């Protein structure tokens, strides 16, 4: 035993299978031989000497030395004279006899930027009260359940007197807002400690420290606990692919490449100015997999959106033209170590919580991303459908008069819709860097812009796949995301934005109420085309089904033309009524709605033995349902 660190713990860490390495490395307040104090432990195989320095010893590198306890470079020390809440770093003597100061890779708390030290702390005594949520999760099947996610950057959702809201303030303001909107989950842009506000959190210096910008770790636990109390899941963006080069961070931690690849061609991410983790190094695997488990078990996080998966999988991802390409041992461009790491990560996560969400933000066409590892897949349970997002935004930008020449953009996604378990994202990446907001991408006058956006959201919510929307989209923010300022809340003073907000509330709650829209998301039985071919009028129609074979008839009109007595083939004889229409006046539409009953005509149309005649509103989505199914639904509710 080394101050309560066992030989087994050490062995597993160096084997890459200590999935709770955060319990042995870093700074821990322990009792040892009747004395209380802080145990410090870090991994630095190239270091000549290491000591703990801080305000408590005037940053004296001779005062609190660590002892090297393994040939593989584990260092440990125990001190009784360091106060709780002290700032500290590791003073490391490199192989070149240079003294460098590094923050603790396993620190649970960090100083508020621009300061960069780690902070000593005792174990949390936070009292969780989310037992009901945890019981519910044990029965939760994400594939057959509704998932609609509100993506949030906490620093710019809302501010108070120009300052960030705290985790506790956000719990009292953001959660009721999300609850009202009807979202099932909140996804948070990376909350791991990072040095620069405008980085959005994707360049990490503290993987185990929730950012101090908005409060303490216990404050964040309070936020998560409150989310669960209101039946809202919490997903966090996670960045296992690369880390930033800040001097106090992981880069050349002991004077040599350690967490990053030694080969600079594999390590350098030129486009981002970051370094790739060495996925083949066992200790790095212990570090990263333990980090996922840490957020899952210590903070009760319900899922991770794994950032930039393609950059991990491919050796030449975003490699500049001037640099020679590199290849794996089989001559391919796949990073075999990263693929093995991803499979191992997902296996470990799902072994502990089968209901956990592991969502790959993957821009590649690599196959079987969401297939189990035992079938040769990567083991994620969801993948962002970047193809659908790119096609739809490209299509919606086109003036309706020209859309018939690009009709394939709204139908092509069904060529691969069931190849993976997809999530449809309209994320922060689409509303920054001059790309314009979603509303501002839409063509036409102001009325048409709002109608187009309502239509886009309606098609998104009826298309197979789970849903994600970045903050501000729910009320039609005109300006693209400003990463220094809060959302444009003053827009609620304008009717069209208020009506867009009401529309999104209705759409989200409609989605959650109708199992046809989510129960068979990943099964082709849950979808059937009625008519994907009406190019001239830019109208599509399709069916969504649930396990009980109940059906919704969905019609999307991508032009500003109204059509009367439009024939739609339907699979069942009977009477249909309109149950949703994005053109309602309460949503800012033109009011081309129908409260009539639509009887089927016994004449073949669209390949079905009967059809109905309906009114098609302009730039709108309408949804119809057979009356008996509506009555059954009302009885259940």
pLDDT tens-place string over residues 322-350: 999 999 999 999 999 999 999 999 999 99
Angle at 359 between CA 355 and CA 362, to 5 degrees: 160
Tokens of 464: 């197979």
**DSSP assignments along 132-158, one per residue:** HHHHHHHT--GGGS--EEEEE-HHHH-
pLDDT tens-place string over residues 86-96: 999 999 999 99
325-343 core/surface letters (b: 16 or more CB in 10 A; e: else) = eeeeeeeeeebebbbebbb
pLDDT tens-place string over residues 457-483: 999 999 999 999 999 999 999 999 998
CA distance 25 to 162: 38
Of residues 124, 126, 117, the one with CA closest to residue 54: 117
CA distance 121 to 29: 7
In a domain, 591, yes or no: yes
pLDDT tens-place string over residues 402-447: 999 999 999 999 999 999 999 999 999 999 989 999 999 999 999 9
Q: Which of 63, 87, 119 is the last residue of a domain?
A: 119
pLDDT of residue 201: 87
Q: 58 is in which domain, residue-wise?
A: 7-119
198 three-class SS: helix
Whole-number Cα distances in Å, 203 to 250, 478, 554: 11, 28, 42
Strands of the 551-557 sheet, one edge to the other: 527-534, 539-545, 551-557, 620-626, 575-581, 597-599
In a domain, 628, yes or no: yes
pLDDT of residue 205: 94
Which range has the worst mean pLDDT, 203-207, 382-386, 527-531, 625-629? 625-629
CA distance 453 to 11: 56
In a domain, 538, yes or no: yes
In a domain, 579, yes or no: yes
pLDDT of residue 628: 83
Half-sphere exposure of 508 (CA within 13 A, CB side): 22
Longest dimension (CA), the chain: 92
CA distance 471 to 430: 12
| H or E segment and range at residue 634 | helix 627-636
Of residues 415, 488, 420, 495, the one with CA closest to residue 450: 495
In a domain, 221, yes or no: no
pLDDT tens-place string over residues 194-204: 988 887 889 99
- How are the residues of the chain apportioned to helix, strand and coil, as percentages rounded to the nearest 5? 30, 25, 40
pLDDT tens-place string over residues 381-406: 999 999 999 999 999 999 999 999 99
CA distance 587 to 459: 16
What is the pLDDT averaged over residues 613-626? 98
- Look over the chain and give the mean of its residue pLDDT values, rounded to a whole number: 96
In a domain, 32, yes or no: yes
What is the pLDDT averaged over residues 39-64? 97
pLDDT tens-place string over residues 216-266: 999 999 999 999 999 999 999 999 999 999 999 999 999 999 999 999 999
Number of domains in the chain: 2
In a domain, 194, yes or no: no
Say whether pLDDT at 180 is over 70. Answer: yes
pLDDT of residue 634: 66
pLDDT of residue 500: 98
pLDDT tens-place string over residues 532-545: 999 999 999 999 99
CA distance 114 to 537: 57
What is the pLDDT averaged over residues 24-30? 97
In a domain, 588, yes or no: yes
Say whether pLDDT at 635 is over 70. Answer: no
Q: In 422-523, which residue ranges form alpha helices assigned H by DSSP?
A: 438-441, 446-462, 495-513
pLDDT of residue 632: 67
Q: Which of 119, 149, 168 is the last residue of a domain?
A: 119
Q: Are 53 and 63 in contact (CB under 8 A)?
A: yes
pLDDT of residue 473: 98
Say whether pLDDT at 630 is over 90. Answer: no
CA distance 516 to 547: 8
Q: What percent of the chain has pLDDT over 70?
A: 99
Q: Which of 101, 119, 137 is the last residue of a domain?
A: 119
Confidence of residue 2 (pLDDT cuts 50, 70, 90): confident
CATH assignment at residue 612: 2.60.40.1180
What is the pLDDT averaged over residues 502-513? 98
pLDDT of residue 633: 67
Considering the entire predicted model, what is its pTM? 0.96
CATH assignment at residue 97: 2.60.40.10
Of residues 347, 358, 340, the one with CA closest to residue 278: 340
All residues at 6 or more sequence positions from 495 whose CB lies less than 8 Å from its CB, including other chains: 588
- Known catalytic residues? 307, 361
């Amino acid at each position: 035993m080394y101050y309560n660190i066992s030989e087994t713990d050490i062995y597993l860490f160096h084997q890459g299978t200590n999935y709770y390495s955060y319990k042995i490395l870093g700074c821990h307040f322990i009792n040892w031989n009747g004395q209380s104090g802080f145990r410090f432990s870090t991994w630095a195989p190239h270091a000549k000497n290491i000591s703990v320095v801080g305000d408590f010893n005037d940053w004296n590198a001779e005062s609190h030395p660590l002892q090297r306890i393994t040939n593989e470079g584990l260092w440990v020390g125990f001190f009784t004279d360091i106060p709780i809440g002290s700032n500290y770093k590791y003073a490391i003597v490199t192989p070149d006899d240079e003294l460098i100061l590094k923050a603790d890779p396993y620190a649970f708390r960090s100083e508020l930027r621009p300061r960069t030290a780690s902070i000593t702390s005792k174990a949390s005594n936070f009292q969780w009260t989310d037992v009901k949520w945890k019981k519910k999760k044990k029965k939760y099947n994400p594939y057959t359940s509704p998932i609609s996610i509100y993506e949030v950057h906490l620093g710019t959702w809302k501010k108070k007197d120009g300052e960030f809201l705290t985790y506790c303030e956000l719990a009292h303001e953001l959660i009721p807002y999300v609850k009202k909107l009807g979202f099932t989950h909140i996804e948070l842009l990376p909350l791991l400690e990072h040095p620069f506000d405008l980085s959005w959190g994707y360049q990490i210096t503290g993987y185990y420290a929730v950012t101090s910008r908005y409060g303490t770790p216990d404050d964040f636990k309070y936020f998560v606990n409150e989310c669960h109390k209101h039946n809202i899941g919490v997903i966090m963006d996670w960045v296992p692919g690369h880390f930033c080069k800040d001097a106090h961070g992981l880069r050349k931690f002991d004077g040599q490449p350690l967490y990053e690849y030694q080969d600079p061609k594999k390590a350098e991410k030129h486009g981002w100015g970051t370094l790739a983790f060495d996925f083949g190094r066992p200790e790095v695997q212990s570090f990263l997999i333990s980090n996922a488990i840490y957020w899952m078990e210590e903070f009760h996080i319900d899922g991770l959106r794994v950032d930039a998966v393609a950059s991990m999988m491919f050796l030449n991802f975003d490699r500049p033209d001037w640099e020679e390409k590199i290849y794996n041992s089989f001559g391919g461009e796949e990073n075999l170590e990263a693929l093995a790491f991803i499979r191992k990560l997902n296996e470990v996560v799902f072994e502990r919580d089968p209901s956990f969400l592991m969502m790959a933000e993957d821009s590649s066409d690599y196959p079987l991303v969401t297939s189990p590892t035992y079938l040769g897949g990567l083991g994620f349970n969801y993948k962002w459908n970047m193809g659908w997002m790119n096609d739809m935004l490209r299509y919606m930008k086109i003036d309706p008069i020209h859309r018939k020449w690009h009709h394939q953009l709204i139908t092509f996604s069904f060529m691969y819709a069931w190849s993976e378990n997809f999530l449809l994202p309209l994320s922060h990446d689409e509303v920054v860097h001059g790309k314009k907001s979603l509303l501002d991408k839409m063509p036409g006058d102001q009325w048409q812009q709002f109608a187009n956006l309502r239509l886009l959201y309606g098609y998104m919510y009826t298309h197979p796949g789970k849903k994600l929307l970045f903050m501000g989209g729910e009320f039609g923010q005109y300006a693209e995301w400003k990463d220094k300022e809060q959302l444009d809340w003053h827009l609620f003073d304008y009717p069209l934005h208020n009506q867009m907000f009401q529309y999104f509330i209705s759409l989200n709650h409609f989605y959650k109420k109708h199992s046809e829209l989510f129960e068979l998301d990943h099964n082709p039985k849950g979808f059937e085309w009625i008519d994907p071919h009406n190019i001239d009028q830019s109208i599509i129609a399709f069916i969504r089904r649930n396990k009980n074979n109940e059906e919704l008839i969905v019609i999307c009109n991508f032009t500003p033309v109204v059509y009367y007595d439009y024939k739609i083939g339907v699979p069942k004889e009977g009477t249909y009524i309109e149950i949703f229409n994005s053109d309602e006046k309460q949503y800012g539409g033109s009011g081309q709605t129908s409260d009539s009953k639509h009887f089927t005509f016994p004449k073949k149309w669209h390949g079905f033995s009967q059809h109905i005649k309906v009114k098609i509103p302009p730039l709108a989505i309408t949804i119809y349902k057979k009356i008996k199914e509506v009555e059954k639904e009302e009885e259940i509710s």
